[in-house]
Amino acid sequence: MTRPLLLLSAALLFSPPLLAKQIERELGDFDFTLGTTPSRSMAQGLISPTAIGAFHGGLDFSHASGWYLGQYAPSMGVTPDSTLRLDSYLGYKHRFDSSLGYEVGLIHYSQPNIAGPDSYALYGGVSVLGSRFGGALRDNPDNRTGTLFADFGHLPLFDVDLTVKLAHHRLGTPFTLGDGQQVDTFSDWSLELSRPWLGIDLNLIYSSSSLSGAGCDAYSGMNSYCDSMLTLKAQRRFF
């Protein structure tokens, strides 16, 4: 995907006449989806978190054979304090029946405006009775990460969606703390409850890590904060 194509997608995403959460079209043998949330199931659980207050969106092409490709921008980099970030993915998805399927793929993480190496993640998982379970291995010279996640879908008893994520990080270069101790590995996790309310997506997120106190200086994980944190997020989509 080229940046002009992405920016064209962004323009479509934020055009006033387009009020649906996603635009879906058939283009020959491909299904095309354009929206403000990643539409690919397994990749959706593994892309970079959306920066707070950032414009974001992406597009997705899928073929009846099971192959798909797409690109999602957690941040379009359109404001002075934001940076363009792109997550591009290619994968294959197959369903045995309505209750069982699997998916494998590759994600490329990049920040075109910042010098430095890009990183990649191999991911895969299974979908069972509406729930998804998957994992990924991300090759980043500064922080090699293994991630497990579970999306249990809608829980009728509590009327919420439940997602759990656990990651283990190994730093390429150990981080030296002020007292001389070194941190070379750490883990972090999150639990998210979500539900729509009056057109707004409400998310209650508990996140934490194995680091605390001065050790948080070494934190560079998937959560916004190193210490235990309970966050209530409300988001209204353009799409």
| Domain extent listing, the chain | 1-122, 140-239
Query: E strand or H helix at 4, and its extent?
Result: helix 3-13
Cα separation, 30 vs 18, whole angstroms: 21
Given a cut of 90, is residue 222 above it in pLDDT? Answer: no
pLDDT at 9: 40
SS3 content of the chain, % helix, strand, coil (to 5): 10, 55, 35
Cα separation, 46 vs 177, whole angstroms: 29
Given a cut of 60, is residue 13 above it in pLDDT? Answer: no
Cα separation, 120 vs 50, whole angstroms: 18
Confidence band, pLDDT 50/70/90 cuts, at residue 72: confident
Burial class (CB in 10 A: 0-12, 13-18, 19+), 6: buried
Given a cut of 70, is residue 237 above it in pLDDT? Answer: no
Backbone angles phi, psi at 11, to 5 degrees: -60, -40
Share of the chain above pLDDT 70, in %: 74
Top pLDDT among 2 and 238 is at: 238
Backbone angles phi, psi at 149, to 5 degrees: -145, 155
Cα separation, 53 vs 58, whole angstroms: 16
Query: Bridge-partner residues for 230, per DSSP?
Result: 206
Confidence band, pLDDT 50/70/90 cuts, at residue 157: confident
Q: Could you identify the residue written with the tokens 């959460």?
A: 21
pLDDT at 31: 80
Give me the amino acid identity at 231: T
Confidence band, pLDDT 50/70/90 cuts, at residue 155: confident
pLDDT at 102: 92
Burial class (CB in 10 A: 0-12, 13-18, 19+), 11: exposed
Top pLDDT among 172 and 34 is at: 172
Stretch 170-182: mean pLDDT: 88
pLDDT at 50: 56
